Amino acid sequence: MESYRKNIRVFLAFFGPTAGWLVLFFFVPLAIIWIYSFGENSSLTTIKTTWTLDNYKRLFEPEIIGLFWRSVWLSVVSTAICIVMAYPIAMVIATASRKAKPWLLLVIILPFWTNLLIRTYALLNILGTRGRLNDLLHWFWNMGHGALELVGLGSLLGEQFEPIVFLGTPGGVMIGLVYVYLPFAVLPIYSSLERLDRNYLEASLDLGASQWHTFRKILLPLSISGINTAAIITFIPLLGSFLIPNLLGRGQVDMIANVIERQFKSANDWPFGSALSLFLLYITFIILAIQSFAAMRKRNQENG
Amino acid sequence: MSEEPIISIRGVTKKFGSFTALKDISIDIRPGEIFALLGPSGCGKSTLLRIIAGLETATEGDILIAGQDMTDIPANKRPVNMVFQSYAVFPHMTVADNVAYGLKLEKRPKAEIEAKVSEALAQVHLSDFSHRMPDQLSGGQRQRVALARALVKRPRVLLLDEPLSALDAKLRDAMRLELVKLQETVGVSFVMVTHDQSEALAMADRVAVLNDGILRQLDTPAALYKTPCDRFVADFIGSINMFSVTGQAADGADAILSVRELHDIRLPTSRLPAVGGPLTIAVRPERVRVGDSPPDKDCCISAEGKLGDVAFQGNSSIVEIILEGGASIVALATESEADILMQAETGSPICAWWNSEDMLLLPDSAIPGND
Amino acid sequence: MARKRRDRAGPFEYSRKLSLRIAFLLSAVFLYAPIVVLVVFSFNNSRRGGNVIWKGFTTKYYDKAFHNDSLVEAFTNSLTIAVVSTIFAVILGAMTAVVLWRFRFPLKPVFEGMVALPIVIPEICMGVSLAVFFSSFGLYVPSESPFPLNLTNIIIAHITFSFPFAAMVIRTRLTTFNREMEEAAKDLGATEFQVFRDILVPHMKPGLIAGALLAFTLSLDDFVITFFTSGPNTVTFPVKVYSMVRFSVTPEINAASTILILVTLIVTAVAMRFQSFEEVEK
């Protein structure tokens, strides 16, 4: 690497445009909503910056606190489900034969490259009260009902199949969130398992540990960094997700992004929308800061 | 030989798809010996070790440990423990926790575990390191942790996969001695895998030489060196001069061998190996004498050539004799011989000779039907 | 006597364990079933939106989708935006990668963090801030401006969120560059620019391609940021589908979606081709 001074013209030719673009189209817009977050609507279309804190105070209204709480727990639970589902997937891919590995990876990554809107829309088809999932459940119900009737317990499953309502419920939104963000969780866990020396597992077995004990005491602790990365990389976009709660929640399971969108698109309360956006941004930063701090501490420990 | 073997490998074959890694291997390992599996990389020796440990399943054949069939016993229930080539010291546990890992699984009382761990760490001179994490240790120290961790389980046999290959040269020599001493102290059999013949010869009581999944020879180090059974073993163990026999004729009770690089060689037919096929004559460099001419032409085999490089090695020197046609003979010259040779100019005519009895007659393979 | 036995799975060959194979299979079904259902029902001959019941095979909804002018326009817009923003994103990304790879300069970690920010911040924040930015500076390019100038705002937004991804990919490629090649070229008399053109760019090529494909997919995929930066007359395909879904679910959307999935598959196949070429080159 060379000092920028040694070749300042080349440096500026490369640095200038990128830094300029980033400042103009990324940081200036963020600065504007930061300023707007201290403003108030003086008329329907104009905003006056009065450096009021009212927009931030509104974040503590019970309604908004409830919104945050719902967003956070939906994201936490969905992240946890993603990781629990991703771990076995990653185990299979990491130990697959060299020929099968890229194909198995592709199976997981391909949906991730498919348009998010289309995937969410596809779920609408599945999750409706008369959707495919309820069709499937109905079929199971019929089978179960028939079997139970044979042994004289026909009433156990009720008189009639009751379709489960997914759309507009937290459960439905959660299915959507897991569906969309599962591939995010697989890749970091996969790469940490891939890097893991198989001798550690064999040594554990050789010393008398069972498969399960080896999984708990060796495999899991040694892949914890992959799990952490997976959790962060899944949780951050989950918390800010807009489309899934919008389409699958039908306005009844709003997350932060849905309320932000409403401030800009229908309620026309830009200052409050800005404050909400920045709040979401700060949460993201705090999570990232905690993670890099933990990573730094771990590195220091290893070096010291 | 009346002693019952501690490990009995019976007709083990291992196939990976269409590739045969091990072909019908049968070996008995005696209690209390250091046994080396020696061979070039890819010869199947590590696979055999892993089959003994239960980490790999044999396609055919059985492993008996202390007389018990191990076929259906998984790795975690076998009375053997392994020191891995990469040591596989668990990076997220302290040295003491690593050593205690196997004991905790046996659900031993805490005090007993602690006592055994500190005893094992003392044995490998790591008592002061018990609370260190593995990444704070050197390679040699990590290997000691792996040793202590395996030995603390009191295995019937300790398996070592290339135990010295990851260490630097100086540490390697010290560790050779230490491993042998450790084995004498604990008394259990060691089975080690190595690709380094000098390591196997220096440490092991008996050595099995493997190549391409086939057991070529199983013997003591001295016997392997003095009487290798075939061309591969002779070439792999120590250094040796070898010449292919190009023709063979009978003359009464004698056989006359023609070799492109040398004069015809007359030998009693009884000295020829039992198996047929191509023959090689071979002679160790320390058996080759050099000088102006051999003292007694009749009992010697001699070759004339030109003096090549002389490499001084202290009390001996390695001398290269270049024969007509470009082939060369390497001789280990004594100090007095070397003194004379140092005077001579490179390229000056010189003679190499050796006693007929010192010469080995080797088949390509001692096993009928192979190669 | 030696017995023959079946080759058992090793203790850690998880990919050969039945339970884990089933887990993998179920996850794959979970990921693909909705898409498969969508594709299958795009051929469903049912007028009713919810397409609940299979009413026979038809391709008429593809026909309908192809003749839906606003849908075709949205599709054209999406592809135009993707192509233009990809070109800019790769150029900016390559420049960023070269700066970070080649130079030491004050506050470099800060700049590195700044470049990574668009990758990590929630999409909605970026969408909202860009929408406010364009409107408050009066930078909204009038929707009536001739195509493709009317898409300028969306293109700017797409470049902004995709070039850091391209930079990341290209930078990874640059780490494998041997600086002695550059020195050798200079030693042989190449100027700074000639070194860049003849040595560095050819080395970066696989990274540039990978970065371009990533930027292209990201652009095609984006909904949230586009949703905030698009005007009523500059609608992209996802935004159009979104508004259609809000009214009703029709087989026409299924058909249109299937086409987009196909486009994605083709781009992926091309990407894989390039990658396998790269391996062959090595």
pLDDT score recorded for residue B264: 83
Kindly state the percentage of chain C with pLDDT values over 90. Answer: 29
Q: Would the CB atoms of C24 and A288 count as touching at under 8 Å?
A: no
pLDDT score recorded for residue B99: 93
| Closest C-alpha among B330, B365, B332, B354 to residue B263 | B354
In angstroms, rounded to a whole number, what is the distance separating the alpha carbons of residues C161 and C85? 10
Q: In which band, very low, low, confident or very high, does the pLDDT at B164 lie, cut at 50, 70 and 90?
A: confident
pLDDT in tens, C246-259: 777 677 888 888 98
Within 8 A of A39 by CB-CB distance, chain C residues are none
CATH class of A64-129+165-302: mainly alpha
Token pair belonging to C73:
């326009």
Ordered DSSP codes for B204-266:
-SEEEEEETTEEEEEE-HHHHHHS-SSHHHHHHSS--EEEEEEEEEEETTEEEEEETTS--EE
- B301-328 exposure pattern, b = at least 16 Cβ within 10 A, e = fewer: bebebbbbebeeeeebbbbbbbbeeebb
Which of the 8 DSSP states describes residue B165?
T
In angstroms, rounded to a whole number, what is the distance separating the alpha carbons of residues B341 and B318? 11
Determine which of A97-106, C25-34, C43-52 has the lowest per-residue pLDDT on average: C43-52
Determine which of B158-167, B195-204, C10-19, C152-161 has the lowest per-residue pLDDT on average: C10-19
Which regions of chain B does DSSP assign to beta strands (E)?
Answer: 7-16, 19-29, 34-38, 60-65, 68-69, 80-83, 157-161, 189-194, 206-211, 214-219, 241-251, 254-259, 265-268, 279-283, 289-291, 300-312, 316-323, 328-334, 349-355, 360-363
User: Which of A70-74, B3-7, C199-203, C211-215 has the highest mean predicted lDDT (pLDDT)?
Assistant: A70-74
Within 8 A of A213 by CB-CB distance, chain B residues are 105
Interchain contact C16–B (C-beta under 8 A): no
- Top pLDDT among A125 and A202 is at A202
Angle CA A294–A298–A300, to nearest 5: 115
Q: Distance, in angstroms, between A141 CA and closest chain B CA?
A: 42
Average pLDDT over residues A85-113: 90
Angle CA A96–A102–A107, to nearest 5: 95
Q: Which of A114, A247, A269 to mutate to test the interface with C (most CBs of C within 10 A)?
A: A114
In angstroms, rounded to a whole number, what is the distance separating the alpha carbons of residues B76 and B85? 19
Going from N- to C-terminal start, the domains of chain A cover: 64-129+165-302
The answer to whether the bond into C148 is cis (omega within 30° of 0) is yes
In angstroms, rounded to a whole number, what is the distance separating the alpha carbons of residues A150 and B185? 72
Q: Are strands B7-16 and B60-65 parallel, antiparallel or unpaired?
A: antiparallel
| Closest C-alpha among A300, A95, A303 to residue A195 | A95
R_g of chain B computed on alpha carbons: 25
pLDDT score recorded for residue C144: 64
Kindly state the percentage of chain A with pLDDT values over 70. Answer: 98
Average pLDDT score, chain A: 88
Whether complex ipTM tops 0.90: no
CA distances from B106 to A20, B77, C207 (A): 65, 11, 53
Interchain contact B91–A (C-beta under 8 A): yes
Q: In which band, very low, low, confident or very high, does the pLDDT at C139 lie, cut at 50, 70 and 90?
A: low
Given a cut of 50, whether residue B109 has pLDDT beyond it is yes
C-beta of residue B325 within 8 angstroms of C-beta of residue B246? no
Kindly state the percentage of chain B with pLDDT values over 70. Answer: 98
pLDDT score recorded for residue B131: 93
Strand partners, B159: B82, B191
Query: How many DSSP H helices and E strands does chain B contain?
Result: 9, 20
Question: In chain C, which residue's Cα lies nearest the Cα of A257?
Answer: C124
Determine which of B113-127, C45-59, C92-106 has the lowest per-residue pLDDT on average: C45-59
In angstroms, rounded to a whole number, what is the distance separating the alpha carbons of residues A204 and A200? 6
Within 8 A of C194 by CB-CB distance, chain A residues are none
Within 10 angstroms of residue A128's Cβ, the number of other Cβ atoms is 20
Average pLDDT over residues B358-371: 74
pLDDT in tens, A132-182: 888 888 888 888 888 888 887 767 777 778 888 888 899 999 999 999 999
Interchain contact A113–C (C-beta under 8 A): yes
Closest by Cβ to A122, choosing from C38, C95, C130: C38
Given a cut of 50, whether residue A201 has pLDDT beyond it is yes
Question: In chain C, which residue's Cα lies nearest the Cα of A31?
Answer: C129
Q: In which band, very low, low, confident or very high, does the pLDDT at B74 lie, cut at 50, 70 and 90?
A: confident
Which of the 8 DSSP states describes residue A94?
H
Q: Would the CB atoms of B55 and A197 count as touching at under 8 Å?
A: no
Given a cut of 60, whether residue C1 has pLDDT beyond it is no
Token pair belonging to B200:
């196997």
Angle CA B257–B263–B264, to nearest 5: 25
H or E stretch covering B342: helix B335-343
CA distances from B324 to B306, B327, B350, C267 (A): 8, 7, 12, 67
pLDDT score recorded for residue B214: 92
Q: Cβ contacts of residue C60 below 8 Å, gap of 6+?
A: C45
Token pair belonging to A103:
């194909």
Alpha-helix runs per DSSP H in A23-131:
28-36, 54-57, 62-95, 101-113, 116-127
Q: Cβ contacts of residue C20 below 8 Å, gap of 6+?
A: A88, A91, A92, C14
Question: In chain C, which residue's Cα lies nearest the Cα of B61?
Answer: C2
Q: In which band, very low, low, confident or very high, does the pLDDT at C3 lie, cut at 50, 70 and 90?
A: very low
Angle CA B359–B365–B213, to nearest 5: 130
Average pLDDT score, chain C: 84
In angstroms, rounded to a whole number, what is the distance separating the alpha carbons of residues A9 and A15? 10
In angstroms, rounded to a whole number, what is the distance separating the alpha carbons of residues B128 and A170? 56
Interchain contact B163–A (C-beta under 8 A): no
Average pLDDT over residues A192-198: 90
Q: In which band, very low, low, confident or very high, does the pLDDT at C25 lie, cut at 50, 70 and 90?
A: very high
Q: Would the CB atoms of B75 and A221 count as touching at under 8 Å?
A: no
Given a cut of 90, whether residue B36 has pLDDT beyond it is yes
In angstroms, rounded to a whole number, what is the distance separating the alpha carbons of residues B217 and B208? 6
Which regions of chain C does DSSP assign to beta strands (E)?
Answer: 103-104
Given a cut of 90, whether residue C210 has pLDDT beyond it is no
Closest by Cβ to A125, choosing from C32, C41, C118: C41
Q: Would the CB atoms of C99 and A15 count as touching at under 8 Å?
A: yes
pLDDT in tens, B234-280: 999 988 999 988 888 888 888 888 888 888 888 888 888 877 778 89
Measured in whole angstroms, the distance separating CA B273 from the mean position of its chain's CA atoms is 23
What are the structural domains of chain C? 17-58 (no CATH), 68-281 (1.10.3720.10)
pLDDT in tens, B280-303: 999 999 999 888 877 776 668 888
Q: A66: number of CA atoms within 13 Å, CB side? A: 6
Q: What are the φ/ψ torsions at residue B267 (nearest 5 degrees)? A: -140, 150
Q: Cβ contacts of residue A99 below 8 Å, gap of 6+?
A: none
Interchain contact B130–A (C-beta under 8 A): no
pLDDT score recorded for residue B4: 85
The residue assigned the tokens 């050789």 is A206
pLDDT score recorded for residue B63: 93
Q: Would the CB atoms of C11 and B24 count as touching at under 8 Å?
A: no
In angstroms, rounded to a whole number, what is the distance separating the alpha carbons of residues B53 and B224? 27
Question: In chain B, which residue's Cα lies nearest the Cα of C8?
Answer: B57
Interchain contact B351–A (C-beta under 8 A): no
Q: Would the CB atoms of B59 and C5 count as touching at under 8 Å?
A: yes
Given a cut of 70, whether residue C7 has pLDDT beyond it is no
Angle CA B314–B320–B325, to nearest 5: 180
pLDDT in tens, B20-35: 999 999 999 999 999 9
Q: In which band, very low, low, confident or very high, does the pLDDT at C9 lie, cut at 50, 70 and 90?
A: low
C-beta of residue B27 within 8 angstroms of C-beta of residue B206? no
User: Which of A56-65, C130-139, C148-157 has the highest mean predicted lDDT (pLDDT)?
Assistant: A56-65
Average pLDDT over residues C198-209: 89
Given a cut of 80, whether residue A253 has pLDDT beyond it is yes
pLDDT score recorded for residue A44: 66
Average pLDDT over residues A58-68: 91
Token pair belonging to B84:
């891995």
Given a cut of 80, whether residue A292 has pLDDT beyond it is yes
pLDDT score recorded for residue B371: 43
Q: Cβ contacts of residue B58 below 8 Å, gap of 6+?
A: B12, B13, B14, B22, B51, C5
Question: In chain B, which residue's Cα lies nearest the Cα of C12?
Answer: B55
In angstroms, rounded to a whole number, what is the distance separating the alpha carbons of residues C168 and C38? 34
Ordered DSSP codes for C114-163:
HHHHHHHS-HHHHHHHHHHHHHHTT----TTSPTTGGGHHHHHHHHHHHH
H or E stretch covering A303: helix A270-303
Given a cut of 80, whether residue C226 has pLDDT beyond it is yes
Given a cut of 60, whether residue B1 has pLDDT beyond it is no
C-beta of residue B354 within 8 angstroms of C-beta of residue B285? no
Measured in whole angstroms, the distance separating CA A234 from the mean position of its chain's CA atoms is 4
pLDDT score recorded for residue B170: 82
Determine which of A9-13, A39-43, A191-195 has the lowest per-residue pLDDT on average: A39-43
Which of the 8 DSSP states describes residue C2?
P
In angstroms, rounded to a whole number, what is the distance separating the alpha carbons of residues C78 and C238? 8
pLDDT in tens, A23-48: 999 999 999 999 999 988 877 667 77
